[in-house]
Amino acid sequence: MAPGESVVVLGAGNTGFATAANLSLAGQSVALGELPAFAEALDPVREERVIELHGVAHTGAARIDMITDDVGAAAAASDNLLLIVPAYGHAPWALALAPHIRPSHTLTLMPGTLGALEMARILREAGAPNIPVAETDTAPYVCRKTQPDGATIWGVVPAMGLGVFPSSATAQVHERLAPLFPGITPVPDVLACGLSAMNPVVHPPGVLLNAGRIERSRGEFYFYDEGVTPGVVRAIMALDAERRAVAAALGHDLPDAAEAFHAAGFGPRAEPPDLWATINGSAMLTALKAPGELNTRWLSEDVPYGLRAWSGLGAVLGVPTPIIDAVVALGLTVLQEPPDTNRRTLADLGIDGLTGNEIRAYVMGGVA
């Protein structure tokens, strides 16, 4: 995609704002869309169509070509759709987009945590054309909205994994995204990508083991720098080993969290690999404050949409996940959610009742 070609960013949250602004300042024609129910997120920039971007990427006043809460108008603005919302926004967006999807579209979730499978199922059941639905394993930037009409990027992720459903369409989607996000790298399929997401690995145990401090200080401490201590890292790595075992049962040899954080550019490699040392040496991660309350998407998203989906896959594949299940139980208890809360079931993903071999075949060809 040459400078000046079009892209649509769907979602006007922290990363949506930052991505729209950074791509615009890089020379792309950008449309920023939001669901009507969240139209107020666009209000600070709707009239002037300018997002002020600060930090370590492009900086300055980014002019956005279209800002709209008309989903049809947003989808019509480009064939290249980037959906940048929390996991609980995937299904509402799929339903809203379905009437407006055309065969030339590609849709990429940034990140997805297996959400590409859920989106594809909803679009198919709604009668939309079959299009490639992709996801990345992380967001492109470490960023936040830091003013009503602006955002700050503290770090650019140099290496995002890209999984595409069906995997036979990987080259098509990668060609569309590579000029926008240098370093984006295809992985074998969406299962490998969804199981490479680091947020469900780090956030839930980190929040739960810092629960008292989060409530007492209302998040006024540096989450990674002060909260992810060597003891917390041991819990994270125990959970991470189960994630990797589930992936191995699907034929994927994924790096552990320490290597994955370094490979994504979050921090330096330690010898031997050590997640605490990588995080401790990360300028972008150590700049982030903790969430201000326990009812944070670091639990409400990463537990029922992330960890629960991994646990469900483990059950089908015969892979025990006792640490994941314990973190799920504690996370749901803290959130005051029923213990069976699971918002990304295998049925949601369109793979309920399939064997491991059938799941692998499905993600490759798109046909169960």
Question: What does DSSP say about strands 106-109 and 60-63: parallel, antiparallel, or unpaired?
Answer: unpaired
The DSSP letter of residue 289 is: B
Average pLDDT over residues 233-237: 97
- Average pLDDT rounded to a whole number, residues 146-165: 95
User: Which region, left, alpha or beta, applies to residue 189 given φ > 0 means left and ψ of -120 to 50 means alpha?
Assistant: beta
Tens digit of pLDDT for each residue in 60-78? 999 999 999 999 999 999 9
Q: Which superfamily does 199-337 belong to?
A: N-(1-d-carboxylethyl)-l-norvaline Dehydrogenase; domain 2 (1.10.1040.10)
**CB neighbour class for 288 (10 Å; exposed up to 12, middle 13-18, buried from 19):** middle
Catalytic residue among 203, 240, 252, 348: 203
| 79 among known catalytic residues | no
139 pLDDT higher than 80: yes
CA distances from residue 357 to 121, 249, 368 in whole angstroms, order as listed: 19, 10, 11
On the question of a cis peptide bond just before residue 272, with omega within 30 degrees of 0, the verdict is yes
Catalytic residue among 79, 137, 189, 302: 302
pLDDT digits (tens, 9 = 90+) for 314-351: 999 999 999 999 999 999 999 999 999 999 999 999 99
- What is the C-alpha separation between 275 and 285, in angstroms, rounded? 12
| The pLDDT of residue 265 | 86
pTM: 0.94
Strand order in the sheet with 141-147: 60-63, 50-55, 150-156, 141-147
Is 60 exceeded by the pLDDT of residue 4? Answer: no
What confidence score (pLDDT) does residue 270 get? 85
Listed by start position, the domains of the chain span 6-194, 199-337
- Model pLDDT for residues 158-181, shown as the tens digit of each residue: 999 999 999 999 999 999 999 999
Residue 30 corresponds to which amino acid? V
pLDDT at 273: 86
HEC string of 173-227 equals HHHHHCCCCCCCEECCCHHHHHCCCCHHHHHHHHHHCCHHHHHHHCCCCEHHHHH
Indicate if 90 belongs to the active site: no
pLDDT, residue 2, reads 47
Q: What mean pLDDT do residues 40-62 have?
A: 97
Q: Is the pLDDT of residue 21 over 80?
A: yes
The CATH number that domain 6-194 falls under is 3.40.50.720
* Residue pLDDT, tens place only, 103-118: 999 999 999 999 999 9
- Whether residue 154 has pLDDT greater than 80: yes
Which H/E stretch holds residue 356?
A: helix 356-365
Q: How confident is the model at residue 12 (pLDDT cuts 50, 70, 90)?
A: very high
Is the four-CA dihedral 38, 43, 45, 48 of positive or negative sign? positive
Stretch 260-277: mean pLDDT? 89
